[in-house]
């Protein structure tokens, strides 16, 4: 029983981080039809800004978080306007090439600015403290991750279900041309969605830095992991990404508890089995 | 195939043989990662080499020594071998050095045997490398060399039960095997051995499993960088320290990532051959000279491996010039005072015999920075993995 | 037919010129040749048949380990080793392809990545056989065709790899113009139409994937014989991704693109890494973006684009 609880708690915390980083990727891939391999780069930019604001500027953690996410969005918006807008029209392969090129430039920039070693993000004293759950201890930091992840999914649901922006976004995902014909300014929606995705990636990157530590090569190291979340969740589905991220968090955690020696093989075998049976993922809105 | 360029290339090789008579300039080719996630290694090597040359000049005997750096990227034996060939044929180097990863070193084995080029390994730590060619010399360490003393020290401290947790790849398994053998030989028990996949990002499940077994200590081996960072964090956060489970490691608290670990690292125990905080005049001189050249430079085991490697090359050049076999002969049995302490090139294993220290991470009251404080020498050993 | 003869002549001339111009860099040139073979295999799969993959390293690695083990335990003959590599690559491609070829797009890409990762993990865990992370060592290939020994400078290695590359290129050129090749192009452009005229898309794709696997296996086998060591990195995602970049850089579906893209990428990497390794990613990132924005069809389209530019064409490359 304790084992199950352990798997659940650790799996959920891990899954929430994956969700926050990957959800933007899923939406951009579903909405703009862009194979955006540079998405992890926004988590890297967020993490790097957080490292800089925390250790070199010396701001308190709340401001660090806010500043880094805002900074990432400020970088992402013009990038969308100037570069991505042109990439949308490319074929799939050209998109892969272009976004890998962007990833290289992001890595090279961080490398030049902060070097290639680990970039730590200073946490306030309170977040390092452990909370007693009865059957085990959990750091306040992990509890925060779970809490923020839950808020993010709730916020996204409200945004999509209850606001005009959400209705337009869903319309655009379902059918871009019709939405555009109905007078929805898809260009604006694209930019806002892209910024939102980049901001969430930054948030996930910073909060997840304890599990997926930030260094210049972060986007390449975890690219496959994020893409797997999207593929399993289904392109363009926020709920799908959420369920997929939690499931992947649970599976990885469970296999490390139960069969650490075989964890990698188990994990990929499950991924292959699942995708072979459900090529469109859990709830893909558009064909993969 | 005996056309003109073939002749040119053959001429190059015969020039190689001729050059072994006498030359004013001796070139050393350094093969290391200068790009990618492991670029730090190349930087450490280069800084240490420049420091040595700043301290001791660029001449050894009658020869002027120059270094040529080549970037191998990461684990890339194809590239490593191609670079070695390019350095030997085109640049006509007489010595090779560097090598961070075992496959990269193994790949040049046949090449250096054929060209009789002394090759000094600055880092790669698998025992078996030196058996691949009689021209390999190693100024770093091997994993059994530091893991076995860690086990013996732990037993002497009253630790009787240990869980080993190592990354599931060659070096990790070497560390696990030699730790276990040494610990059980003393009379202790290794209650569980966990091999963690290299791709592990969340170590909570593994450390929770260790915690539930409540051993006296947990022995860990992980590749440097992100995995070590996550592992040590998780060790603290899950209350293993509070439960009195001692952390035993080797390279986990190395200097280049130590400050990033923060206060959570304080009190971690490791057995290793070099700490930048080693208390000796040689080490202080090394640190000062390096800081003068590179004010932001960090010194760790890779730096000292390169620094001693350069010393070894200087000694070989002074003794034998460009004569490869004679140079190796001159190196064997050579003893000197390194920044890490006294060391000696073992004639049998061609890996240095050195002190292994037990260290504890603490904050330096003056600088406020974390450092590995040496609390004692626990062994003076050569490569313990040679005959396995 | 004259076109094919001309292309053979051009490649031979380029190979001889490289040999004459860079006699001291044969080891590096040989690495380029091996990479060209791998990228050519990708061109068959991706360029011709339109199968998107980021896991070509799986077959490359399988070929490398198979050829290495074959040389150590069975027979040191290099050509037999190539065959062993080809068989291993083809087998892995056929078995995994049986599942993979039923999917497409992102799902397919993820599956190809997963297969390569599993292969790497199996090789890592089978330490007794593969040497694990230390690498498979002790590969000592014999004389090529019983005549030419692998020499220190790498003359034999260079011409051996060159001959293999040329043969692979010719085989692919023939396949591309065969009815099978044309049907692959048809599938790439419009699978629905091919189904309508009674072609089994799945079988053709599986056949193409298996052939591509065999060629990737040959590339892996070459690298095992030249380096005399196989590491786990032969299965790495980076290798698959770099091969893909080189192909798209050069231009897909035309075989020349594979050669051009590989040569340019590796040469730029070599020069940039030699001059400023710490920042070479800037150079390669910029190169990739310039190509994708100004030459979307790849570097092979450069002459056409220049011609158009010279004529005062408004938009180069499109």
| pLDDT higher than threshold 70 for residue A82 | yes
Contact across the interface for B239 and A130, Cβ inside 8 Å? yes
Instruction: Give the pLDDT confidence of C47-70 residue by residue, as tens digits.
Output: 999 998 999 999 999 999 999 999
CA atoms within 13 A on the CB side of C211: 21
**What pLDDT is recorded for position A1?**
67
Top mean pLDDT of A135-144, A157-166, C23-32 is at: C23-32
**What pLDDT is recorded for position B37?**
84
Joined tokens for residue B37: 């996630």
The verdict on residue B388 lying in a domain is: no
CA distance A19 to A238: 9
- Are the CB atoms for B50 and B293 separated by under 8 Å? yes
| Strand ordering across the sheet containing B63-71 | B59-60, B63-71, B25-32, B95-98, B119-121, B136-138
**What pLDDT is recorded for position B119?**
97
Quick one: B49 and B129 in the same domain? yes
User: Which is it for strands B161-167 and B217-221: parallel, antiparallel or unpaired?
Assistant: parallel
CA–CA distance from B352 to each of B149, B314, B337 (Å)?
Answer: 16, 16, 12
Joined tokens for residue A248: 């992947």
How far is the alpha carbon of C54 from chain B, nearest alpha carbon, in Å? 19
The verdict on residue B30 lying in a domain is: yes
Identity of the residue in B195, B238, B264 whose CB atom sits nearest the CB atom of A260: B195
Q: Which residues of C touch B39 (CB under 8 A)?
A: 277-278
Phi-psi region of A236 (alpha: psi -120 to 50; beta: other; left: phi over 0): left
The verdict on residue B387 lying in a domain is: no
Identity of the residue in A136, A217, A256 whose CB atom sits nearest the CB atom of B37: A217
How far is the alpha carbon of A252 from chain C, nearest alpha carbon, in Å? 14
**Which residues of C fall below an 8 Å CB-CB distance to B?**
19-20, 23-28, 30-31, 34, 121, 124-125, 127, 131-135, 137, 140, 148, 152-156, 159, 223, 226-233, 273-274, 277-278, 280-281
Quick one: B136 and B151 in the same domain? no
User: Which is it for strands B119-121 and B136-138: parallel, antiparallel or unpaired?
Assistant: parallel
CA distance B106 to C5: 42
Burial class (CB in 10 A: 0-12, 13-18, 19+), C99: middle
Q: Does B282 touch chain C (CB under 8 A)?
A: no
- Are the CB atoms for C270 and C235 separated by under 8 Å? no
Identity of the residue in C113, C284, C293 whose CB atom sits nearest the CB atom of A86: C293
Torsion, Cα of A135, A141, A143, A144 (10° steps): 170
Joined tokens for residue A3: 């084992």
CA distance B209 to B191: 12
Phi-psi region of B259 (alpha: psi -120 to 50; beta: other; left: phi over 0): alpha
Band of residue C312 on the pLDDT scale cut at 50, 70, 90: low
- pTM for this model (two decimals): 0.91
- What SS3 state is found at B22? coil
As a whole-number percent, the residues of chain C with pLDDT over 70 amount to 97
Joined tokens for residue A250: 């649970």
Quick one: B136 and B148 in the same domain? no
Chain B's closest residue to C278, CA to CA, is B35
Q: Does A175 touch chain C (CB under 8 A)?
A: no
Query: How much is the ipTM here?
Result: 0.90
CA–CA distance from B364 to each of B126, B139, B232, B288 (Å)?
Answer: 33, 28, 20, 17
% helix, strand, coil for chain C, step of 5: 75, 0, 20
| pLDDT higher than threshold 70 for residue B10 | no
How far is the alpha carbon of B212 from chain A, nearest alpha carbon, in Å? 10
Chain A's closest residue to B226, CA to CA, is A213
Identity of the residue in B34, B109, B170 whose CB atom sits nearest the CB atom of C132: B170
- What SS3 state is found at B221? strand
CATH label of the domain that carries residue B302: 3.40.50.2300
As a whole-number percent, the residues of chain A with pLDDT over 90 amount to 41
H-helix or E-strand spanning residue B71? strand B63-71
Contact across the interface for B82 and C232, Cβ inside 8 Å? no
The verdict on residue B64 lying in a domain is: yes
Contact across the interface for A118 and B195, Cβ inside 8 Å? no
Query: Between residues 114 and 153 of chain B, which touch chain A (CB distance below 8 Å)?
Result: none
Quick one: B221 and B366 in the same domain? yes
Joined tokens for residue B95: 């010595």
- Are the CB atoms for B62 and B39 separated by under 8 Å? no
State the first-to-last Cα distance of chain B, in angstroms, to the nearest integer. 45
Quick one: B239 and B184 in the same domain? yes
| pLDDT higher than threshold 50 for residue B227 | yes
For all residues of chain A together, what is the average pLDDT?
A: 87
**What letters, b where the CB count within 10 A reaches 16 and e where it falls short, cover A228-252?**
bbbbbbbbbbbbbbbbbbbbbbbbb
**A32-36 average pLDDT score:** 82
Band of residue A285 on the pLDDT scale cut at 50, 70, 90: low
CA distance B58 to C300: 49
Quick one: B234 and B360 in the same domain? yes
Band of residue C292 on the pLDDT scale cut at 50, 70, 90: confident
| pLDDT higher than threshold 60 for residue C130 | yes
**What pLDDT is recorded for position B15?**
46
CA distance A253 to A15: 10
| pLDDT higher than threshold 50 for residue C318 | no
- What SS3 state is found at C146? coil
**What pLDDT is recorded for position A26?**
86
For all residues of chain B together, what is the average pLDDT?
A: 89
Domain range list for chain C: 25-277
Sign of torsion over alpha carbons B314, B318, B321, B327: negative
Q: Which residues of B touch A205 (CB under 8 A)?
A: none
Question: Phi/psi at A214 (nearest 5 deg)?
Answer: -85, 125
Quick one: B163 and B260 in the same domain? yes
More confident residue, A29 or B151: B151
- What SS3 state is found at C95? helix
Q: How far is CA B54 from the centre of its chain?
A: 22
Contact across the interface for B9 and C155, Cβ inside 8 Å? yes
Q: Which residues of C touch A92 (CB under 8 A)?
A: 52, 105
CA distance A157 to A155: 5
CA distance B150 to B250: 8
CA distance B101 to A247: 36
Burial class (CB in 10 A: 0-12, 13-18, 19+), C189: exposed
CA distance B183 to B188: 5
| pLDDT higher than threshold 60 for residue A288 | no
Q: Which of A104, A230, A270 to mutate to test the interface with C (most CBs of C within 10 A)?
A: A104
Top mean pLDDT of A273-287, B85-99, C294-308 is at: B85-99
- Domain span at residue B232? 143-272+356-381
**B205-228 average pLDDT score:** 88
The verdict on residue B147 lying in a domain is: yes
As a whole-number percent, the residues of chain B with pLDDT over 70 amount to 94
Q: How far is CA C23 from the centre of its chain?
A: 24
**C158-183 average pLDDT score:** 94
**What pLDDT is recorded for position C316?**
39
**B362-373 average pLDDT score:** 92
- Best CA proximity match to A213, nearest among C241, B224, C114: B224
Q: Which of C101, C285, C297, C318 to mutate to test the interface with A (most CBs of A within 10 A)?
A: C285
- What SS3 state is found at B261? helix
Contact across the interface for B197 and A118, Cβ inside 8 Å? no
Quickly tell me which residue has 């003893």 as its tokens.
Answer: B335
CA distance B11 to B13: 5
The verdict on residue B169 lying in a domain is: yes
Chain A's closest residue to B35, CA to CA, is A116
Quick one: B34 and B178 in the same domain? no
Instruction: Give the pLDDT confidence of B62-71 residue by residue, as tens digits.
Output: 899 999 999 9
**Which residues of C fall below an 8 Å CB-CB distance to A?**
46, 52, 99, 102-107, 109-111, 113-115, 117-118, 121-122, 125, 237-238, 241, 244-245, 248-249, 252, 278-279, 281-282, 284-289, 291-293, 296
Quick one: B66 and B170 in the same domain? no
- Are the CB atoms for B206 and B177 separated by under 8 Å? no
Q: Does B201 touch chain A (CB under 8 A)?
A: yes
**B189-194 average pLDDT score:** 94
Quick one: B253 and B206 in the same domain? yes
CA distance A7 to A1: 10
More confident residue, C270 or B5: C270
**What pLDDT is recorded for position C189?**
84
- Are the CB atoms for B247 and B216 separated by under 8 Å? no
Joined tokens for residue A145: 């991750």
Q: Give the number of domains in chain B.
A: 2
- What SS3 state is found at B115? helix
Q: Which residues of A touch B198 (CB under 8 A)?
A: 264
How far is the alpha carbon of C19 from chain A, nearest alpha carbon, in Å? 31
Q: Which residues of A touch B297 (CB under 8 A)?
A: none
| pLDDT higher than threshold 80 for residue A2 | no
CA–CA distance from A125 to each of B230, B264, C262 (Å)?
Answer: 18, 11, 51
For all residues of chain C together, what is the average pLDDT?
A: 90
Burial class (CB in 10 A: 0-12, 13-18, 19+), C25: buried
Instruction: Give the pLDDT confidence of C235-290 residue by residue, as tens digits.
Output: 999 999 999 999 999 999 889 999 999 999 999 988 888 888 878 889 989 998 99
| pLDDT higher than threshold 80 for residue A278 | yes
**What pLDDT is recorded for position B137?**
97
Query: Between residues 236 and 295 of chain B, which touch chain A (CB distance below 8 Å)?
Result: 237-239, 256-257, 259-262, 264
Joined tokens for residue B94: 């007489």
Identity of the residue in B5, B86, B132 whose CB atom sits nearest the CB atom of C27: B86
Q: Does A35 touch chain C (CB under 8 A)?
A: yes
Sign of torsion over alpha carbons A133, A135, A137, A141: negative
Quickly tell me which residue has 């306030």 as its tokens.
Answer: A124
- What SS3 state is found at C200? coil
Q: Which residues of B touch A110 (CB under 8 A)?
A: none
Quickly tell me which residue has 């190809």 as its tokens.
Answer: C112
Quick one: B163 and B222 in the same domain? yes
Q: Among the residues of chain A, which ranges form H helices?
A: 2-31, 39-51, 61-79, 85-87, 92-114, 125-128, 140-162, 164-174, 176-181, 186-207, 218-233, 238-258, 263-277
- Are the CB atoms for C62 and C88 separated by under 8 Å? yes
Contact across the interface for B208 and A136, Cβ inside 8 Å? yes
Chain A's closest residue to C47, CA to CA, is A93
More confident residue, A88 or B294: B294
CA distance B42 to B148: 29
Contact across the interface for A215 and B226, Cβ inside 8 Å? yes
Quickly tell me which residue has 């558009």 as its tokens.
Answer: A286
Note the CATH number of domain C25-277: 1.10.3470
**What letters, b where the CB count within 10 A reaches 16 and e where it falls short, cover B339-373?**
bbbebbbbeebbbbbbbbbbbebbeeeeeeebbbb
**C191-218 average pLDDT score:** 91
CA distance B308 to B315: 11
Task: Give, as one character, the DSSP assignment of residue B386.
Answer: T
Strand partners, B381: B354
Range of lowest pLDDT (A156-170, B120-134, C198-212):
A156-170
| pLDDT higher than threshold 70 for residue A138 | yes
């Amino acid at each position: 029983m304790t084992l199950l609880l352990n798997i659940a708690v650790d799996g959920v915390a891990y899954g929430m981080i994956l969700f926050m980083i990957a959800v933007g990727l899923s939406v951009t891939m579903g909405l703009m039809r862009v194979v955006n391999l540079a998405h992890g780069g926004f988590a890297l930019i967020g993490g790097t800004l957080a490292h800089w604001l925390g250790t070199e500027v010396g701001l308190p953690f709340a401001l660090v978080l806010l500043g880094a996410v805002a900074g990432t969005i400020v970088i992402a918006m013009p990038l969308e306007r100037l570069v991505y807008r042109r990439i949308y029209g490319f074929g799939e392969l050209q998109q892969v090439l272009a976004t890998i090129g962007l990833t290289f430039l992001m890595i090279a920039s961080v490398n030049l600015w902060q070097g290639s070693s680990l970039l730590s993000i200073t946490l306030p004293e309170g977040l390092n403290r452990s909370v007693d759950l009865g059957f085990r201890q959990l750091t306040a930091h992990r509890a925060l991750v779970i809490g923020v992840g839950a808020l993010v999914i709730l916020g996204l649901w409200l945004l999509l279900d209850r606001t005009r922006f959400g209705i337009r976004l869903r319309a655009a995902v379902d059918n871009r041309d019709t939405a555009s014909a109905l007078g929805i300014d898809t260009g604006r929606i694209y930019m806002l969605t892209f910024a939102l995705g980049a901001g969430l990636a930054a948030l996930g990157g910073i909060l997840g830095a304890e599990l997926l530590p930030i260094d210049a090569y972060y986007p390449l190291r975890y690219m496959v992991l994020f893409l797997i979340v999207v593929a399993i969740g289904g392109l363009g589905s926020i709920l799908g990404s959420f369920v997929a991220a939690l499931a992947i968090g649970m599976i990885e955690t469970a296999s490390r508890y139960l069969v650490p020696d075989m964890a990698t093989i188990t994990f990929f075998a499950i991924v292959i089995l699942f995708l072979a049976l459900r090529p469109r993922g859990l709830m893909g809105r558009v064909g993969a | 195939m005996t056309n003109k360029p073939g002749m040119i290339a053959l001429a190059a090789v015969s020039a190689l043989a001729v050059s072994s008579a006498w030359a004013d300039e001796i070139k050393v080719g350094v093969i290391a990662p200068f790009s990618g996630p492991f670029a730090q290694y190349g930087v450490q090597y280069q800084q240490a080499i420049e420091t040595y040359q700043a301290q001791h000049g660029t001449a050894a005997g009658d020869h002027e020594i120059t270094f040529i750096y080549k970037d191998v990227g990461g684990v890339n034996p194809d590239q490593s071998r191609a670079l070695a060939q390019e350095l030997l044929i085109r640049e006509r180097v007489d010595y090779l050095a560097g090598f961070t990863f075992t496959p990269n070193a193994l790949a040049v084995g046949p090449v250096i045997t054929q060209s009789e080029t002394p090759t000094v390994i600055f880092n790669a730590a698998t025992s078996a490398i030196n058996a691949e060619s009689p021209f390999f010399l190693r100024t770093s360490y091997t994993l059994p060399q530091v893991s076995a003393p860690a086990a013996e020290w732990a037993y002497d401290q009253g630790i009787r039960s240990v869980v080993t947790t190592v990354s599931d790849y060659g070096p990790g398994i070497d560390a696990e095997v030699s730790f276990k053998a040494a610990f059980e030989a003393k009379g202790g028990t290794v209650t569980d051995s966990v091999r963690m996949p290299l791709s592990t990002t969340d170590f909570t499940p593994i450390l929770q499993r260790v915690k539930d077994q409540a051993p006296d200590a947990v022995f860990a081996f992980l590749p440097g960088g992100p995995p070590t960072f996550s592992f040590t964090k998780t060790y603290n956060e899950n209350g293993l320290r509070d439960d009195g489970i001692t952390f035993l490691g080797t390279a986990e608290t190395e200097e280049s990532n130590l400050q990033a670990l923060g206060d959570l690292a304080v009190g971690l125990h490791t057995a290793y051959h070099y700490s930048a905080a080693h208390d000796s005049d040689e080490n202080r001189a090394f640190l000062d000279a390096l800081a003068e050249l590179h004010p932001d430079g960090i010194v760790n085991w890779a730096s000292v491996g390169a620094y001693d490697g350069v010393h070894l090359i200087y000694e070989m050049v002074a003794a034998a010039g460009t004569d490869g076999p004679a140079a190796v002969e001159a190196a064997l049995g050579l003893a000197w005072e390194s920044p890490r302490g006294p060391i000696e090139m073992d004639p049998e294993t061609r890996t240095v015999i050195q002190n292994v220290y037990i260290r504890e991470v603490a904050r330096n009251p003056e600088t406020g920075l974390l450092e590995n404080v040496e609390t004692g020498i626990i062994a003076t050993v050569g490569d313990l993995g040679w005959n396995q | 037919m004259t076109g094919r003869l001309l292309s053979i002549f051009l490649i031979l001339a380029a190979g001889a010129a490289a040999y004459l111009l860079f006699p001291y860099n044969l080891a590096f040139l040989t690495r380029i040749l091996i990479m060209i073979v791998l990228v050519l295999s990708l061109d068959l799969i991706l360029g011709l048949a339109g199968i998107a993959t980021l896991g070509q390293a799986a077959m490359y690695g399988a070929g490398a380990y198979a050829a290495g083990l074959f040389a150590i335990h069975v027979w040191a003959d290099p050509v037999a080793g190539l065959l062993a590599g080809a068989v291993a690559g083809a087998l892995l491609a056929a078995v995994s392809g049986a599942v993979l070829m039923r999917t497409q797009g992102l799902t397919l890409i993820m599956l190809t990545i997963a297969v390569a990762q599993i292969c790497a993990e199996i090789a890592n865990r089978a330490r007794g056989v593969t040497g694990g992370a230390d690498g498979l060592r002790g590969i000592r290939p014999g004389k090529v065709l019983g005549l030419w020994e692998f020499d220190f400078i790498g003359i034999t290695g260079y011409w051996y790899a060159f001959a293999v590359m040329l043969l692979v290129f010719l085989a692919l050129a023939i396949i591309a113009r065969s009815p099978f090749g044309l049907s692959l192009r048809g599938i790439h452009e419009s699978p629905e139409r091919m189904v309508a005229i009674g072609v089994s898309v799945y079988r053709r794709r599986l056949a193409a994937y298996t052939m591509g696997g065999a060629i990737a296996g040959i590339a892996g086998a070459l690298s095992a014989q030249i380096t005399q060591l196989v590491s786990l990195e032969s299965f790495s995602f980076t290798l698959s991704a770099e091969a893909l970049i080189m192909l798209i850089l050069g231009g897909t579906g035309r075989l020349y693109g594979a050669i051009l893209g590989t040569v340019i990428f590796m040469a730029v990497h070599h020069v940039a890494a030699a001059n400023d390794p710490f920042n070479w990613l800037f150079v390669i990132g910029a190169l990739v973006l310039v190509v994708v924005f100004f030459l979307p069809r790849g570097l092979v389209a450069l002459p056409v684009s220049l011609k158009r530019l010279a004529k005062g064409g408004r938009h180069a490359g499109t």
